[in-house]
Chains A and B, each alone.
Chain A
Amino acid sequence: MITRSDVLLDATDLQKTFGNGVRAADGVSLQVRRGETLGVVGESGCGKSTTAKMILRLLKPDSGTITFGGQNLLSATGSDLRALRRRLQLVPQNPQTSFNPRLIIRSSIEFNLRAHNYARSGWRDRVDGLLTRVGLTAEHGDSFPHEMSGGQLQRAAIARALATDPELVVCDEAVSALDKSVQAQVLNLLADLQQELGISYLFISHDLSVVEHISDRVLVMYLGRVVEEASAETLYTAPGHPYTRTLLSSAPGYTGEHLPPQGEPPNPADPPSGCVFRTRCPWVMDRCVTERPLLGVAKQAQYVACHLNDPHLRDTTISSSSVLTEPITSSSDS
């Protein structure tokens, strides 16, 4: 059984609404345990990047709490914040622009070392070591970003993230901008590093296959809400939420059920009432219009935010929406 002490990052009920009325995060909660990879998947506008930014304190949530290693991340200031930042790092999406174009890679990595008062005399060796660890050479360290390819830069970004021995690395679409063949290299590298160093990852991506490959557990987000949370394997073989099923079905080459998405994505500034997915859901009920579904247990370690998952509903006859194929009857399996 997973104990509380294993939880490294604990975010509860994060809310963030932007000036234009878009509710980027509407009650998002997540936990990342030590040595684990939590994947967050969703399409554009689902709020996954916003959530990542809030966790990194690049954005301030309107409400909610975030603790890291037991310490309150949101209220930390000064040297406390700095100490927390040392343990929580970022690998950003776009390798070409995530480095300062006027600095050589080495300088960019040293910037992080300087920020945490690492002894200057040790910088050279440490940076060289990091570069080697990610498969680059000292020469790469002396190069400018524009002299390097996307794959090389992303490795450099990983090296930079590792510079301060972090415990959790947020990968925000870290492989999305790479060619598939290069993507595989970087994914292998991330996996190796996790095994060797025991770091946790918060892996954010729109690519379901990548997320499932690298994650232990996965969060599925839609319009600012978490609609499902499950282990990677369960998600792929027995998805609980209608949106997850639609997402899987849309992945080209998926050989499971055929569930095409209906309708158009709604306007994020004016989301539907009740369940935000109801306008595209094949099993929508009256209840979905008025009442927002909360994350509830579907199976062991699988949580789904859907009225179809309601235990009461499971007890009664489900075929009320008779035109459609059978809804989820997950509890009857276990």
Chain B
Amino acid sequence: MSVSAAPTATVPATSAESPVLRVESLSTSFIRRGKPLQAVRDVSFELRAGETLVLLGESGSGKSVTARSILRLHGKQATVTGSVMLGDVDLLTLGDAPMRNLRGSRMALVPQDPNASLDPLRRVGHQIAEVLQLHGISSSRSVARARALELLSLVGIPDPPRVFASYPHELSGGMRQRVAIAIAISCEPTVLIADEPTTALDVTVQAQILRLFQDLQHRLSTALLLVTHDVTVAAEIADRVGVMYAGQIVEYGPATEVLQRPRHPYTQALLGALPLPGMARGSLRAISGAPPVAGTAFSGCSFADRCGAAVESCHQQAPVLITVQRDHRAACPVLNSPSNPADSSKEGSR
């Protein structure tokens, strides 16, 4: 089963520029215990310069795998099909060496856990300088050092020389994440991919990091692909949102549209599940069941067994992305037929 996005992939973009990153029909599968596991299924989206696209989804939705597949970080473990166009180069067809050159220079990753991404045994400044020298941005150590100090101040770190000389464990979580971001932007990448960059951080630090991303985008016109499970982060920072469920994009469009006028039952349910002030206790709109384990196969719509609006055909036929309006698409024929209601909720779960 697959969610075909082909007809809608050529919907004209809202801006006149062509996208810097264009993902089409991306599918990723792994082999677990001898059996194939389809983690991402036919995902397509575009990213323009200076724009933030948030991939929103819970566990098992395939959002992290998508991000990593774009950067081809899975290596031999995964089979990745489709096309990932960075400018006019298809990343999936590149050899290993050119891909490695590209990573860190034109496309960079800000990983979730800054503890895991920084070398604990080396000073932080050297780790930044190393990237600069590796990609030929800086010719000598002193030039690299100077640039690294600039970058540290660019990401809002006070006292860059002191931090330059520090080891990761001497810095707080927020600082470490800023350093990771500094490394990521050091070569002024066209595309920045952030995988749950604020999940491990306190909420006050999270706010600062999100603001930093926005600031950097303004300055460098970097395109940002941000992967998160937190709807409020999407609300804060996204220009466009792609909601993922069970390895597919189920809704896609401008953030204001998707988050305020969602047209897929899952998105609606996700937004309804948030505890907002004024909601009576015990009345959260919970979705019964749990997100499916990554790789589960479905014969119809993957959300059908948890969906309040599901009809018979939902279990048999895989839905395709339907254009709701202009740039806003949702993979639900039930809500997006001519006589559609605006809302759905499964009352059994209250």
Q: Is the CB of A180 within 8 A of B207?
A: no
Which residues of B are found within 8 Å of A76, using beta-carbon distances? none
Chain B residues 195-248 with CB under 8 Å of chain A are 202-208, 210-211, 229-233, 235-237
Contact call A185/B230, Cβ cutoff below 8 A: no
- Asked if residues A261 and B204 are in contact (CB atoms below 8 Å), the reply is yes
Q: Is A273 an interface residue (CB 8 A)?
A: no
Please give the distance in Å from A22's CB to the nearest CB on chain B.
Answer: 14
Assess whether B283 is in contact with A209, with CB atoms less than 8 Å apart.
Answer: no
Question: Within 8 Å of chain A (Cβ to Cβ): is B275?
Answer: yes
Residue-wise, chain A 34-72 has the 8 Å CB interface mask toward B (1 for contact) of: 000000000110000000000000000000000000000
Task: Tell me the bound Cα distance from A217 to B216 in angstroms.
Answer: 40
B74 lies within 8 A of chain A by Cβ: no
In the complex, what distance in Å separates the CA atom of A151 from the CA atom of B306? 15
Q: Which of A184, A210, A212, A260 contacts B211 (CB 8 A)?
A: A260
CA distance A260 to B205 in the complex (A): 10
Question: What 0/1 pattern do residues 175 to 206 of A give for CB contact below 8 A with B?
Answer: 00001111111011001100100000000001
Q: Which residue of B is nearest A211, CB measured?
A: B275
Least Cβ–Cβ distance between B227 and chain A, in angstroms: 15
List residues of A (152-172) whose CB comes within 8 Å of B's CBs: 152
| Distance in angstroms between the alpha carbons of A213 and B277 in the assembled complex | 6
Select which of A187, A188, A260 is within 8 A of B208 by beta carbon.
Answer: A260
The chain A residue with its CB closest to the CB of B57 is A179
* Given the contacts A181-B287, A213-B275, A252 and B235 also touching, CB distance less than 8 Å: yes
Closest CB in chain B relative to A278 CB, distance in Å: 16
**Chain B residues whose C-beta falls within 8 Å of the C-beta of A150 in the assembled complex:** 290
Q: Are B287 and A209 in contact (CB under 8 A)?
A: no
In the complex, whether A264 has a CB less than 8 A from a CB of chain B is yes
**Is A191 a contact of B282 with CB atoms below 8 Å?**
yes
Give per-residue flags for B296-331: 1 if the beta carbon is below 8 A from chain A beta carbons, else 0: 000000000000000000000000000000000000
Task: Across the interface, name the chain B residue whose C-beta is closest to A250.
Answer: B207
Asked whether B207 lies within 8 Å of A252 as measured between CB atoms, the reply is yes
Contact B203 A206, beta carbon cutoff 8 Å: yes
CB-CB contacts of A248-291 with B at 8 A, as 1s and 0s? 01111100000011001100000000000000000000000000
Q: Would you call B172 and A265 a contact (CB within 8 A)?
A: yes
Residues of A within 8 A of B285 (CB): 184
By a CB distance below 8 angstroms, the chain B residues around A261 are 204-205, 207-208
Task: Determine whether B85 belongs to the interface, using a CB cutoff of 8 Å to chain A.
Answer: no
Residues of B within 8 A of A213 (CB): 275-277, 279, 281, 284
A247 at the interface (CB under 8 A from B): yes
Partner of A180 from B203, B270, B279 at Cβ < 8 Å:
B270
Interface residue? A208 (CB, 8 A): yes
Q: In the bound complex, what is the Cα–Cα distance between A264 and B178 (angstroms)?
A: 12
Complex formed: what's the CA distance from A103 to B179 in Å? Answer: 43
Q: Taking the nearest CB of chain B, how far is it from the CB of A125, in angstroms?
A: 26
In the assembled complex, A149 has its CB within 8 A of some CB on chain B:
yes
Cα–Cα, bound, A269→B236 (Å): 33
A252 to B201, CA, bound (A): 13
Q: B175 contacts the other chain (Cβ, under 8 Å)?
A: yes
Residues of B within 8 A of A260 (CB): 207-208, 211
Least CB distance from B163 to A in Å reads 11
Q: Which residues of B contact A249 (CB under 8 A)?
A: 207
Whether A209 pairs with B282 at a CB distance below 8 angstroms is no
Bitwise interface map of B from 9 to 26 toward A, beta carbon under 8 Å scored 1, else 0: 000000000000000000
Instruction: Identify the B interface with A (CB < 8 A).
Output: 58-59, 158, 172-175, 202-208, 210-211, 229-233, 235-237, 269-270, 272-277, 279, 281-288, 290-291, 349-350
Return 27 A-B CB contacts under 8 Å, by A number.
A43-B204, A179-B229, A179-B290, A180-B270, A180-B273, A180-B274, A181-B287, A181-B291, A182-B286, A187-B281, A188-B282, A188-B350, A191-B282, A195-B282, A208-B203, A209-B274, A213-B284, A214-B275, A233-B277, A252-B207, A252-B210, A252-B230, A252-B232, A253-B232, A261-B208, A264-B174, A264-B175
Given A187-B282, A250-B207, 6 extra CB contacts under 8 A: A43-B204, A151-B290, A213-B277, A250-B206, A253-B235, A264-B172
For the complex of A and B, the 5 pairs showing the least CB-CB separation, nearest first, are A213-B275, A191-B282, A252-B232, A184-B273, A184-B286
